Structure 1
Amino acid sequence: MGPNATVTGPGRQRSASANGEVTPTAVEPSAVWAEYLAAARQLDGVRRSAAAAAGEQARSAEAAREELTAVRTGLASQQERLRELGVPAISLVPSPPELTEAARSMAGGPAAVLAALRAARGRAEAADAALGTRRRFRPGSWSVWARNLLVYGPLALVVPLIQVAVYAATGIGPATVAALICGLPMPAVAFVAGWVGIGRLFRVGPAERLDRTVRFGALVCLVPAVLVTAGLLLALLPG
């Protein structure tokens, strides 16, 4: 090695003097500091990314737990209504293929579980809306007054309508008088028929009592007959 030769290394530089001694020389501190800052920034970026991922996962897990509670509550209420409509209990239990598909959709972590639960909640709410629309057209889901009126009302109108038709067809005469007389006991007949019909059409549980709204039914059966009878009597009086 010649005089004043320079020997370089990974961390420092060494120079050889004329007498052969090697003396270390300092590396530029700015280069070392820049490398340190770059490594520190990279490490901080990794730490921040890991913290953000962990926080997002924790938030997804918490949201999934809340969503699961809401889904369970909605499904329990929906199952109860479906049982009231006569749906077999076995039809309300998921089948093994459905369980396998659900487990597969939840294998992606809390975010995937949350997405699956939200989709399930949406389907349950859509089913509730469809079920509610259907129940509005089912007399069994109506109030007891409206339900019983559906039975008492038509029966109460049958005889008065016949009396009015006879009067319109024949005018004042024996046929109208006969229809008037025959119609006198018809409100009681209509009430009895309605009372029996309600028991046949609307079923309740063994521990429940069917409300036939007796006074309301009697009033519904009596009012049309009284009005038509009064009208026919007024029509017969001048003659």
Structure 2
Amino acid sequence: MVAARQLDGVRRAAAAAAGEQARSVQAAREELTEVRTRLAAQQTRLRERGVPPISLVPSPPEVSEAARAMAGGPATVLAGLRAARERVDAADAALVARHPLRPASWSARARNLLVYGPLALVVPLIQVVVYASTGVGPATVAALICGLPMPAVAFVGGWLGVGRVFRPRPGDRLDRTSRFGALVCLVPAVLATVMLLLAMLAG
């Protein structure tokens, strides 16, 4: 009986160890995929900034040291990959800090405003110019009527433009700030319409 209980304990311990090892292997695979994707994106950004390709490839001593560090099994590999991901995060932060004027380093709203803003101002500016040029008349009324659907058109154009101008890095999801973009496109049109209507009524 004692031997049977001991054998059962050994089997349970072996099953638990095998399960933990399988979980570590799966987690290590996921970490490896993410780190590879992030490193590829960093390499692309650094090459665009003039960094020589040879500087982006690990040297033979670095490869040997990494291989020795990975010889401790799945748990050790997982810990090493998580440390590598932390270094990738630090490198991304350093790249952003060195180029604060690049839109890619701005918040999503500030960045997207560069696309939504100009599109939102086009029609209101045209309406104001028409009114200033012709005064109260058919041309101004036509400009007001034609401008009614323009906020929706500007929003759709901005939404598409954000995706073309600010392409996300591999593995990232682009934040188009849809509600903010809709507000940006709507406010100038409403203000211009109200101002022109008041001016026409006063005239």
Q: Cα deviation per residue 1:181-213 (whole Å; 9 max; x = unaligned)?
A: 111110000000000000001111343221101
- Partner SS state of residue 203, structure 1: coil
Query: For residue 104 of structure 2, what is the aligned residue in structure 1?
Result: 140
Q: 1:192 aligns with which of 132, 147, 156?
A: 156
- Partner SS state of residue 176, structure 2: coil
Does 1:83 pair with 2:43?
yes
Distance 1:131 1:219, change over 3 A: closer
Query: For residue 215 of structure 1, what is the aligned residue in structure 2?
Result: 179
Distance 1:129 1:141, change over 3 A: closer
Q: 1:224 aligns with which of 184, 188, 194?
A: 188
Shift of 1:91: 3.6
Distance in 2 of aligned mates of 1:154 and 1:141 = 20
RMSD over aligned CA atoms reads: 2.9
Give the letter for the 1:197 counterpart: G
Give the letter for the 1:176 counterpart: T
Distance in 1 of aligned mates of 2:150 and 2:55 = 47
Q: TM-score scaled to structure 1, two decimals?
A: 0.48
1:156-171 aligned within 5 A: 156-171=120-135
Distance 1:131 1:222, change over 3 A: closer
Distance in 1 of aligned mates of 2:183 and 2:96 = 34
Q: 2:118 aligns with which of 143, 154, 171?
A: 154
Q: Cα deviation per residue 1:46-87 (whole Å; 9 max; x = unaligned)?
A: xxxxxxxxxxxxxxxxxxxxxxxxxxxxxxxxx899536252
Q: TM-score scaled to structure 2, two decimals?
A: 0.56
% identical equivalent positions: 71
Give the letter for the 1:85 counterpart: R
Q: Cα deviation per residue 1:113-171 (whole Å; 9 max; x = unaligned)?
A: xxxxxxxxxxxxxxx999744x2221111111100111100100010011001111111
Q: If you compute each CA radius of gyration, which structure gives the higher value, 1 or 2? A: 1
More strand by share: 1
1:45-56 aligned within 5 A: none
- Partner SS state of residue 202, structure 2: coil
Distance 1:201 1:209, change over 3 A: same
Give the letter for the 2:154 counterpart: A
| Greater RCO, CA 8 A, separation 6+ | 2
Distance 1:171 1:228, change over 3 A: same
Structure 2 unaligned residues grouped into runs of 5+: 1-38, 61-92
